[in-house]
Amino acid sequence: MRDGKVLKIEGEPDCILGHDYCCERAQAFIEHLYHPDRLNLYPQKTIGPRGSGKWERIIWNQALDEIAEKFKELKDKYGAETMASTCGTGRGHQIAFKLRFVNIFGSPNHAGGRPVVHV
């Protein structure tokens, strides 16, 4: 980074999933990150009735806290099995992240288009 802007994305050398690999999609992300036509640069929260198209800008900490609270409410009300993860023939590190996320949440629910290695 320089002056608060991302200049380059590199893989983590010690990562057991990527082994220092960083795909083209990640590199292309930089272009999209600062594109002048990008729609949302900050988290948005709906206000008013659902579907009204009214939004307010909120800070990241508030957005993450509200998402975490919603996950907790769903788990408390319906159990961990309410969470499911799916993927197509995507990349291994994305699959591993999703598997780890639902595992930590307590759900066994994952479906995908190819075999996966559990880490």
| pLDDT, tens only, 101-119 | 888 999 988 877 655 555 5
Look at residue 101 and tell me if it is in a domain.
yes
Q: Into how many domains does the chain fold?
A: 3
98 and 73 share one domain: no
- CATH classification at residue 14: 2.20.25.90
| pLDDT, tens only, 24-76 | 777 777 778 888 777 777 889 999 888 888 989 999 999 999 999 999 999 99
pLDDT at 4 over 70: yes
Look at residue 86 and tell me if it is in a domain.
yes
pLDDT at 17: 61
Bigger pLDDT: 21 vs 57: 57
63 and 97 share one domain: no
Contact 98, 110 (CB under 8 A): yes
pLDDT at 117: 55
Look at residue 23 and tell me if it is in a domain.
yes
Look at residue 63 and tell me if it is in a domain.
yes
Domain span at residue 57? Answer: 41-78
1 and 33 share one domain: yes
Which DSSP symbol is given to 56?
Answer: E
12 and 34 share one domain: yes
List of residues 6+ apart from 99 with CB closer than 8 A: 85, 110, 116, 118, 119
pLDDT at 73: 97
User: Where do the H-state alpha helices sit in the chain?
Assistant: 24-33, 60-78, 92-105
Contact 48, 28 (CB under 8 A): no
Q: Which residue in 108, 111, 119 sits closest to 80, CA to CA?
A: 108
The amino acid that residue 40 corresponds to is N
